[in-house]
Amino acid sequence: MEKKSKFGTAMNIGIPKESIDTQKIFERRVALTPAGVKALVERGHEVYVESSAGEYSGFSDAEYEKMGAKIVFSREEVYKRAQMVVKVARPTEEDYNYLCEGHLLFGFLHLAVAPRKFIEILLERKITAIGYEIIELPDGRLPILQAMSEIAGQMAIVVAARYLQNEDGGRGIILGGIPGVPPATVVILGAGVVGQNAIRAALGLGAHVVVLDKDIDKLREVEKLFDKRVETAIANVYNIEKAVQFADVLIGAVLIHGALTPKIVTEEMVKKMKPGSVIIDVSIDQGGCVETSRPTTIANPVFVKYGVIHYCVPNMASNVARTATYALTNVSLPYIIEIAEKGLSQTVRERPSFGKGIYTHAGFCTNKNIAEIFNLEYKKIEELL
């Protein structure tokens, strides 16, 4: 018999502990804060939290229990009890065994760079996979990704400042310079949310900032926001090559909704960069916009190629796990509640733009970009509901 909450259907919701495998991905965030769990429990839902899930974000099992969560001591049990599984990162290979037919799965899934095996499991087991990174508002904004992008943009400058120091192999310069010594040049590719937050942080430290984007309206917005304290240029091959050559710090902040990021900085361009300069490829979670980039981890965040330090951590917001978990809960909880109580069909009917956030449903790929990348049959989500 279908359970009822105070506001509609009641659902069992599972929150597994994220992977802490330092050789692959070290994910410190947790999907919901204790306060987020309380909001669900008060509405009649049952929430199962794997023991120690909130440890790295500073939330104890006792805090979750106090808010009404049921603590379970194995990941398998979380998946078995849950109708909806709420994660941060894409499930690991161990998790594949626990995904059950009909599960609703929320998380930063980034299927464009996912193993094909994972996508095949989603389809075979008829899992409804909802990607935080592609959930849209009617105006095209990405509300959940935006929160993490705001963090990543600020962190990019903090990371750059560290790796410019001699001890970490950098050029031995500070971002802001001092009287008589010029500041570092920070080149930012992309004037979206990551780019704008990186600009704000870099200017705050006194850096010389150059921003490139192919959208002239975005560049106008940047000039207006920052009172013309930023150099702007159209992101064509000539301008990118010229800017990269003079950069002390290069930040890749390019985003194509739900698709692989184009490689706009070539290997030849990287070869011409200053020795000890730093690349922060924030776009790495969708493949990266620098040809020499490859994913790194929080435990081993950098590598050097052609004398240039590369920082390519896909989940860099995980390094400020508490802030990131609060931010994630703020923006994801309304969607979790809506799906839990109204169901997928009603939610998509009432909020058509939400349908763009669904990767797979009922055994079909419902995202055109992913269908093209992996040569899968594509169906519109509306046809399946």
Question: Are 188 and 237 members of one domain?
Answer: yes
Residue 275: helix, strand or coil by DSSP? coil
Residue 282 annotated in ligand binding: yes
Residue 285 annotated in ligand binding: yes
Question: Are 193 and 327 members of one domain?
Answer: no
Region of residue 122 (left: phi > 0; alpha: psi -120 to 50; beta: else): alpha
Question: Are 54 and 133 members of one domain?
Answer: yes
Residue 242: helix, strand or coil by DSSP? helix
pLDDT per residue as tens digits for the range 168-180: 999 999 999 999 9
Residue 275: inside a domain, yes or no?
A: yes
For residues 136-154, average pLDDT: 95
- Alpha-helical (H) ranges within the chain are 34-42, 61-66, 75-81, 93-96, 116-124, 143-163, 193-204, 216-225, 237-246, 267-271, 321-350, 368-374, 381-384
> In CATH, what number is assigned to the domain containing residue 150?
3.40.50.720
Residue 3: inside a domain, yes or no?
A: no
Question: Are 284 and 355 members of one domain?
Answer: no
pLDDT at 8 over 70: no
Could you count the other beta carbons within 10 Å of the beta carbon of residue 172? 10
Residue 78 annotated in ligand binding: no
The pLDDT confidence band at residue 46, using thresholds 50, 70 and 90, is very high
Helices and strands of the chain, counted as H and E runs:
13, 17
pLDDT at 220 over 90: yes
Residue 376: inside a domain, yes or no?
A: yes
Residue 285 appears among annotated catalytic residues? yes
Residue 197: inside a domain, yes or no?
A: yes
In angstroms, rounded to a whole number, what is the distance separating the alpha carbons of residues 237 and 242? 9
What pTM was computed for the model? Answer: 0.93
Residue 218 annotated in ligand binding: yes
Of the residues 61, 248, 281, 285, which is catalytic?
285
DSSP 8-state code for residue 310 = E
Residue 314 annotated in ligand binding: yes
Question: Are 41 and 53 members of one domain?
Answer: yes
Q: How far is CA 130 from the centre of its chain?
A: 13
Q: What is the pLDDT of residue 9?
A: 75
Question: Are 166 and 289 members of one domain?
Answer: yes
The pLDDT confidence band at residue 1, using thresholds 50, 70 and 90, is very low
DSSP per-residue letters across 281-303: EGGGGGT-SBTT-----SSS-EE
Residue 5: inside a domain, yes or no?
A: no
Contact 278, 308 (CB under 8 A): yes
Of the residues 110, 208, 310, 361, which is catalytic?
110
The pLDDT confidence band at residue 143, using thresholds 50, 70 and 90, is very high
Q: Which residues of 216-236 are buried (b: 16+ CB within 10 A; e: fewer)?
A: eebbebbbeebeeebebbebe
Residue 372: inside a domain, yes or no?
A: yes
Question: Are 250 and 335 members of one domain?
Answer: no
* Residue carrying the six token digits 């490859």: 294
Tokens read off for 141: 């904004």
DSSP per-residue letters across 43-66: TT-EEEEETTTTGGGT--HHHHHH
Question: Are 291 and 240 members of one domain?
Answer: yes
Cross-strand partners of 303 = 310
Question: Are 190 and 244 members of one domain?
Answer: yes
Residue 352 annotated in ligand binding: no
Question: Are 168 and 300 members of one domain?
Answer: yes
Tokens read off for 55: 């440890």
Tokens read off for 214: 């192919």
Q: Count of domains in the chain?
A: 2
In angstroms, rounded to a whole number, what is the distance separating the alpha carbons of residues 92 and 180? 52
pLDDT per residue as tens digits for the range 57-113: 999 999 999 999 999 999 999 999 999 999 999 999 889 999 999 999 999 999 999
Residue 103 appears among annotated catalytic residues? no
In angstroms, rounded to a whole number, what is the distance separating the alpha carbons of residues 358 and 346? 14
Q: Which residue segment(s) compose the domain that 296 sits in?
A: 143-311
Q: What is the pLDDT of residue 37?
A: 98
Picking from 311, 342, 364, the residue at the C-terminal end of a domain is 311
| Residue in 357, 368, 350 with CA at minimum distance from that of residue 128 | 357
Residue 6 annotated in ligand binding: no
Q: What is the pLDDT of residue 26?
A: 85
Question: Are 30 and 52 members of one domain?
Answer: yes
Residue 73: inside a domain, yes or no?
A: yes
Residue 113 annotated in ligand binding: no
Question: Are 125 and 45 members of one domain?
Answer: yes
